[in-house]
Amino acid sequence: MLNIAIVGPGLVGGALIEQIAAHAQSPRFARLPIAVVGLINSRKMALSNTAFTAADLAGWQSTLLGDSAQAADLSRFADTLAAIECGPTAIVDCTSSDAIAALYPSWLTRGLHVVTPNKKAFSGDMSLFREIQKLSSSPLGPTVYHEATVGAGLPVLSTLNDLVRTGDRIVKIEGIFSGTLSYLFNNFSAPGATQKFSDCVAVAKENGYTEPDPRDDLNGMDVARKVTILGRVAGLDIGTDTLPVENIVPESLRDVSTAEEFMVRLPEFDEHFSQLNREALQAGSVLRYVGFVDGLNGQSSVKLARYPLDHPFASLKGSDNIIAFTTDRFPNPLIIQGAGAGAAVTAFGIFSDLIKIAERFGSGLADSKC
């Protein structure tokens, strides 16, 4: 059995638990037994030497992490997991914490696999990124998978890894990596669109597409982290500290104290965004907020750019992501498109990584008597 322990089970972790529980009831489980044996949040934790039952998982917030659960102790949590002798064990970090990301080397050193949608370890300090790479480089394990850090469940990093491992040369990677910014500009910048920019932001916020403070989307840093991850996987020395990032939050609104004040004042800048849009449309183009990895000339960036109406980025709908890989073998870009955000698809990306670990390191799992 592949043992799974989840750190920070919120919306994404809850969706992952549902998918693992469904897997346990399917014919696939006989070949790839995967089960949850640990959960921990900021207050409570639950650990077991055997798989949690379906009933426990169905109501995990109360049955496993309720008031009677053990107090959270992440060090003891990892100690217990490292001592499990029956099958490989993977920790799934569903937080966005820098502090927890910094623990990955210690987990790997103790033989624990790591799967995560947390971008911090792969887009932050380069020394941490390289240490994780080194500790997870052995074909005998342990390993790290982080498909869900870019594009949620879309096969973005797995595709890039395949291109790199087969010796293809990455010319450029270009994409719309933010579901929020995809939604905003797909609705704001299109032939015949009439909504003001501030109204688009308000609707996106009301529908839950944005962060509680939309400036956390509009400042471009989430896209910058994804571009950094892609660049590093492609072999580039790149970081958010050196990457040019266009912050489209109007300068005078960047330091207002609350999200509410920002939303109230954003209409003051509708004409600025409308002018940008008019100029693009007059040139037969639309505006899209994109990340760009330059594999040849070191000119990676994150910016608001124009694309002609016949470009694949111009026809994107809803909040989808789209990523185009241009390589020596794919001079006409290899394109991946689909939902790049949401609990279910992010959990799918994590679960896919867990299955890879089970297949690589779970020899004999189906025949195990543990």
| Catalytic site positions | 226
Specify whether the CB–CB gap between 115 and 354 falls below 8 A.
Answer: yes
Task: Please state, in angstroms and rounded to a whole number, the distance separating the CA atoms of residues 173 and 335.
Answer: 10
3-state SS assignment for residue 306: strand
Strands (E), 33-169: 34-40, 44-47, 70-71, 89-93, 113-115, 144-145
Pairing of strands 2-7, 34-40: parallel
CA angle 314, 349, 100 (to 5 degrees): 110
The residue type of 58 is A
Q: Residue 336: CB partners within 8 Å, gap ≥ 6?
A: 151, 154, 155, 156, 159, 322, 323, 325
Pick from 63, 50, 65, 53: nearest CA to 10? 65
The region that residue 151 occupies, defined by phi over 0 for left and psi between -120 and 50 for alpha, beta otherwise, is left
Provide DSSP, 170-226.
EEEEEEE--HHHHHHHHHHSSTT----HHHHHHHHHHTT-S-SSTHHHHTSHHHHHH
Structure tokens at 55: 């009933």
3-state SS assignment for residue 285: strand
CA atoms within 13 A on the CB side of 133: 13
Task: Please state, in angstroms and rounded to a whole number, the distance separating the CA atoms of residues 111 and 339.
Answer: 33
Strand order in the sheet with 70-71: 70-71, 44-47, 34-40, 2-7, 89-93, 113-115, 144-145
Burial 316-334 (b: 16+ CB within 10 A, else e): beebbbbbbbbbeeeeebb
Pick from 316, 356, 318, 353: nearest CA to 336? 316
**DSSP 8-state symbol, 53:** P
